Amino acid sequence: MISLQGVTKSYGLGDKQQKVLDNISFTFPYRQSVGILGPNGAGKSTLIRIIGGAEKPDKGRVIRTSRLSWPMGYSGGFQKTLTGRENARFVARIYGADYHEVEKNTIEFSELGKYFDRPLETYSAGMRSRFAMAVSYALDFEYYLVDEALETGDARLKEKFRQVFKERRMTSSVILVSHNEQTIRKNCDVAAVLFEGKLHFYENIDDAFLMYRKIIFAGRAA
Amino acid sequence: MATLTGQVERDSAFVIQCRVLYALILRDIKGRFGGRRLGFMWAVLEPCLFISLFVLMFQLIGRTSQAGIEVPLFFVTGITPFLMFRDLFGSIANETKVSSPLLMFPQVSKTDLIFASLIVNVLVSIAVFILLLTGCFAMGYTFIIDDPLRVLITLFLLVALGLGLGLVIGALTIRYEFVSSLSQALLGRPLFFTSGLFFTADILPPKVREIALYNPVLHGIESIRSAMFMSFESRYVDLTYVFFFAVALIAFGLMMLSFFDRQSR
């Protein structure tokens, strides 16, 4: 289970303090794909960081009893002086996964060939993001954290990863944040809107879009 | 493609933490010392350079022993433990102040990063210490360790001091950035010259000694030398003082960390 309990987070100090997340309680449904919509600056990335434990909430807590991924495709956690294989093993170790299997899957997904045994600092930007995405898919999680800004790769690889993602969606849960309706429609079963620190949940995706559009237009009018 | 079964075993928090620590330690060691990296070479070379320099200086003024300890051994037992303390406090402060990208992995916490850094630093420092003592032995500066248990206890206390100071400096740096550079100016160099690396408390004038003995690291270095050599026994060591100093620093550091870490940025 992944559950937020009274999560509150503010940024800034004194008078300029702004509540980004305001007493949010929410349990992410099992084996469902939840899309979280929010305009830019609504606190989507903060929410992802808090769910994943990269940041602590000011108040409340996050319960993680399921195998949760790090944000898919995020490569910041890798050590550049180490090879792709060594980095893949590191990830396998912290998740207690069989590292032969993780290595094998990473090689297959990333198509890095001999570069798999070279330090990450020798990779191009494209190769690095390919590697990060491949490692993310090399393990199986119960919950996948996705920040849409992280989608990368050429058209063919994108299609390949999209295919894998579709398969995983059937057996796992997904938490995806985005400001893009299309991304949510394609990948999610239910949706929530993050607005003014609150998370509004909708069983029906279209209802979420309705509210989201209202916010966007109200923002433009003002 | 390999089988990706949905079956997941639940591990206890303790098992997960051990796994994470093990992975972080391996990663750290490989990153620092693996391949063509000169990490370990430098870890040995730095104290060697310092020690050679001071041994040479003492030789020029015709000194062969200090407080009943042969000069090379005197410096090895002063400089190496001090560098352990200094490097440890630096790494811990660094680990404490930054928001590492590794925190993006849900099971990795700041505590894990701090612990892993502590373990790697201590392992390396102890290895260097043993290596240098063996080197002295091989060059004919023989000795019998007087009180091995006390050596271990003192090293442990120096580690605790390094951890505590690192936590305090690191946690304060999260909120007040100038603390980091201030600590280098006010702590790094001054401690190097006042922690008994080049002298013993006994040779200081009484008034100076009284003040110098507020520095817990001086107690540590004096204690190491007393424990190592039968020919030297400091009258001024108070390990209880060091212990409480370290405990206070660690407690204060942890408090500050939990306070500032929530409100960072």
Contact list in B for residue A91 (CB cut-off 8 A) is 105
Q: Stretch B64-93: mean pLDDT, rounded? A: 91
Q: Stretch B9-22: mean pLDDT, rounded? A: 84
Q: Taking 70 as the threshold, does the pLDDT of residue B2 lie above it?
A: no
Tokens of A111: 């198509």
Host domain of residue A95: 70-140
In a domain, A196, yes or no: no
pLDDT band at B262 (very low <50, low <70, confident <90, very high): low
Contact list in B for residue A76 (CB cut-off 8 A) is 101, 104
Query: What was the pLDDT predicted at B18?
Result: 92
Query: What was the pLDDT predicted at A159?
Result: 80
Nearest to A52 among B11, B23, B106 (CB): B106
Q: A6: helix, coil or strand? A: strand
Q: Taking 70 as the threshold, does the pLDDT of residue A149 lie above it?
A: no
B40 against A10, higher pLDDT: A10
In a domain, A18, yes or no: no
In a domain, A178, yes or no: no
Q: What percent of chain A has pLDDT over 70?
A: 95
Contact list in B for residue A82 (CB cut-off 8 A) is 27, 30-31, 34
Q: Taking 50 as the threshold, does the pLDDT of residue B4 lie above it?
A: no
Q: Taking 90 as the threshold, does the pLDDT of residue A73 lie above it?
A: no
Between the ranges A18-22, A74-78, B252-256, where is the mean pLDDT highest?
A: B252-256
Query: What was the pLDDT predicted at B3?
Result: 38
Query: What was the pLDDT predicted at A217?
Result: 83
Distance from the A204 Cα atom to the nearest Cα atom in chain B, whole angstroms: 27
The answer to which of A37-46, B48-57, B99-108, B239-248 has the lowest mean pLDDT is A37-46
Q: Taking 60 as the threshold, does the pLDDT of residue B265 lie above it?
A: no
Contact list in B for residue A142 (CB cut-off 8 A) is 6, 8
Q: Is A172 on the interface with B (CB under 8 A)?
A: yes
Tokens of A177: 């944040």
Could you tell me how many CB contacts below 8 A there are between chain A and chain B?
A: 88
Q: Is A181 on the interface with B (CB under 8 A)?
A: no
Split into its structural domains, chain A has a count of: 1
Query: What was the pLDDT predicted at B1?
Result: 36
Cβ contact, residue pair A94, B4, below 8 Å: no
In a domain, A95, yes or no: yes
Cβ contact, residue pair B27, A79, below 8 Å: yes
Contact list in A for residue B265 (CB cut-off 8 A) is 11
Cβ contact, residue pair A70, B11, below 8 Å: no
pLDDT digits (tens, 9 = 90+) for A85-131: 999 999 999 999 998 999 999 999 888 999 999 999 999 988 898 89
In a domain, A169, yes or no: no
In a mutational test of the B interface, the residue from A95, A161, A167, A168 whose CB has the highest number of chain B CBs within 10 Å is A95
Q: Is B13 on the interface with A (CB under 8 A)?
A: no
B1 against B80, higher pLDDT: B80
Nearest to B103 among A53, A58, A119 (CB): A53
- The gap between the terminal CA atoms of chain B, to the nearest Å, is 43
Q: Is A118 on the interface with B (CB under 8 A)?
A: no
Q: Taking 70 as the threshold, does the pLDDT of residue A150 lie above it?
A: no
Distance CA B85, CA B217 (A): 8
Q: A42: helix, coil or strand? A: coil
Q: Taking 70 as the threshold, does the pLDDT of residue B170 lie above it?
A: yes
Q: B77: helix, coil or strand? A: helix
Q: Taking 50 as the threshold, does the pLDDT of residue B105 lie above it?
A: yes
Q: Taking 80 as the threshold, does the pLDDT of residue B178 lie above it?
A: yes
Tokens of B97: 């102040």
Q: Is B105 on the interface with A (CB under 8 A)?
A: yes
Q: What percent of chain A has pLDDT over 90?
A: 40
Q: Taking 60 as the threshold, does the pLDDT of residue A169 lie above it?
A: yes
Distance CA A197, CA A52 (A): 18
Nearest to A86 among B4, B30, B108 (CB): B30
Cβ contact, residue pair A140, B30, below 8 Å: no
pLDDT band at B263 (very low <50, low <70, confident <90, very high): low
In a domain, A92, yes or no: yes
In a domain, A57, yes or no: no
Q: Stretch B143-151: mean pLDDT, rounded? A: 91
Bridge pairing between strands B65-66 and A198-202: unpaired
Nearest to B262 among A56, A68, A101 (CB): A56
pLDDT band at B164 (very low <50, low <70, confident <90, very high): very high
In a domain, A108, yes or no: yes
Contact list in A for residue B14 (CB cut-off 8 A) is none
Read out DSSP for A133-170? Answer: HHHHHHS--SEEEEEGGG--S-HHHHHHHHHHHHHHHH
Distance from the A207 Cα atom to the nearest Cα atom in chain B, whole angstroms: 31
